[in-house]
Chain A
Amino acid sequence: MRTSSLACCGALVSSLLMAGALPAYAQLKHYDSDTPSFWKHPPADWFLGDETQAQKGLAPIAQPATPADPADIENNLKKIKLPPGFKIELYASGMPEARQMAWGDDGTLFVGSFGATNVYAVKDEDGKRTVKTILKGLNMPTGVAFENGSLYVVAIDKLLRYDKAEANLDKMPEPVVVYDDMPPYTSHGWKYLADDHKGAFYIPFGPPFNIGIPPTSNAQIRRVNYTNGLAELVAEGVRNSVGGDVDPRSGDYWFTENARDWLSDDTPSDKLNHLAKFGEHFGYPYCHQGDIPDPKFAMGHKCDEFTPPAVKLGAHVAPLGMKFYTGMMFPPEYTDNILIAEHGSWNRHNVQGGRIERVITDPDGKNARQEVFADGWITGPREYWGRPDDIIQMKDGSILVSDDFAGAVYRISYSGS
């Protein structure tokens, strides 16, 4: 599943370049992706590729080495703007690079992490919360889920199951490998687990570069049965997706997607997609945001061949974790709305995103509109104090927001006053 010959495309691009017929912007970097070693170790500049002189130096925003102190977080939370009647507070801190969250049956909050290799467990006893690192040494365990008493963790190329996890937080059992037909590279290889409520997870597979012809194993979403490890390919042409949820009204999967880099500060838009039927192709690498053919990789494809986004979320906002709101605490107009954690830009001259977006849409994607729900994590043109990356609902209808930059989780509640 991992190999594919790209000789056709390489040759095509080379001959076009030799002909000298392309405009300057189309004479972009070409990767020799015809070798197995490329797919094992993507090129060092996999996240670059074709930046212009004006974009040079827009390196990834450096992650702080230590999680933020609770006192600093409390202070910074005063900067967050919310609609009237809503409140944000610190829920738990001291979790380096906190990513996706999942609830255990007995009220344990499990939290994955990005580069920290850890999975955390937050216990709440009468309002007093303790954070425990329950797993260490995993390879980017960004995605977590909890089903039938077991904790599931996805770590790049392995879906792991830890049975009776909640009763064994001090000494987690050896994991069972549920599914491992996944490529081993880490570049865009970090993942998210979205429960389809029918015994499977939707799992995204990002390509190991900014833009290129993906091999058969990636730029797609698979639906993986977590009991028997069997997988189906349900969506193609998907770049880097790290968030999604099933619409409680229709059962359809909706997911966020980070668009290609280095076209410009304002294009293309990142996306919210609606998978109305299995097998849809969302355009990557041929077409971006539903209406911009790729300057190099369109190769004659037209955008109308592909499924357009349900909502254009904006360029470089980096939408990650998302949830449909089904609680009773927020005002009734929030029911079935989508709340999206936007991690924010890394290579835009003035970063944007770094907030929580609210999308109101019909189940079929009609009448979709968006507005900012929570804002205030950006502190300068290229500075953050925190970066939201996932959302989960609490039993009482409030929501939790994880932040990998500050290493913390926040709670947003509504009282109406």
Chain B
Amino acid sequence: MTGLCLLAAGQAHAAGDVAAGKEKAEICTPCHGEQTVPDTANVPALAGQNNNYLQWQLIYFREGRRKNEVMSPLAQDLTDKDVRNLGAYFASLPRPPAPTKDLADASLIETGKKAIAGHGCAACHTDTFEGAGAAPAITRQHHDYLIKALTDYRENARPSTGVGAMNDAAASLTDSDIKAIAAYLETYK
């Protein structure tokens, strides 16, 4: 039944143009990488990310609801069409490869696994954490980025999409929960 999630984006809108998105994305890849998880802390991998989620983040940057010194100015001139094209392009790429070695210690990863189960993350992000619609894929990201994302949600420094989900989901997380969840997701295969 998890497959149903994959249908959950807004279909009857004009689909984005992948080729136009690729052209527009030239400025993105130096930081975000093309097919790999960026080495730079706090920069997410975008390849194979969910189209609807990507579009929402660009809209949030453009509208000033999510702030970043690099992304906020870059998003200012994007049209709705640009946003749809960029979402379509990055979503069309394969996801970065799974990690080949464990990056964190086993007990931390186990703690993260339990925290994830306890917070019901799979309800939106699916059992394999590939996400669907506005819920992003949350594996194959640098742990520093995951820590920043969860902390920002907890502090209401970036907005949830839809029914307040992530700000509420992260509200009760402790710093050590977040560290463990990031370790689990970064090494998830």
Contact = CB atoms under 8 A, between A and B. Distances in A.
16 contacts: A44-B119, A44-B172, A62-B135, A63-B134, A64-B9, A65-B55, A65-B56, A65-B83, A68-B13, A76-B12, A115-B159, A185-B164, A185-B168, A379-B11, A380-B11, A384-B10
Interface of A: 37, 40-48, 53-69, 72, 76, 115, 117, 136, 185-187, 349, 379-386, 405-406
B27 interface: no
A186 B171 CA distance: 13
Interface stretch (B35-43, B120-128, B177-185): B120-128
A44 B11 contact: no
B58 interface: yes
Given A57-B1, A117-B65, 20 more contacts: A37-B172, A41-B171, A41-B172, A43-B120, A45-B119, A57-B3, A58-B1, A59-B123, A62-B10, A62-B133, A62-B161, A65-B55, A65-B58, A66-B80, A68-B12, A136-B63, A187-B168, A349-B4, A385-B11, A406-B13
Nearest to B120: A45
Contact of A58 (B4, B58, B171): B4
B132 to A, nearest CB: 6
B7 A382 contact: yes
Contacts of B84: 66
A402 B189 CA distance: 44
Contacts of B63: 136
B11 A66 contact: no
Interface of B: 1-5, 7-14, 52, 55-56, 58-59, 63, 65, 80, 83-84, 87, 119-121, 123-124, 126, 132-135, 159-165, 167-172
A327 to B, nearest CB: 30
A47 B48 CA distance: 28
A57 B8 CA distance: 10
A103 to B, nearest CB: 27
Contacts of B132: 59, 62
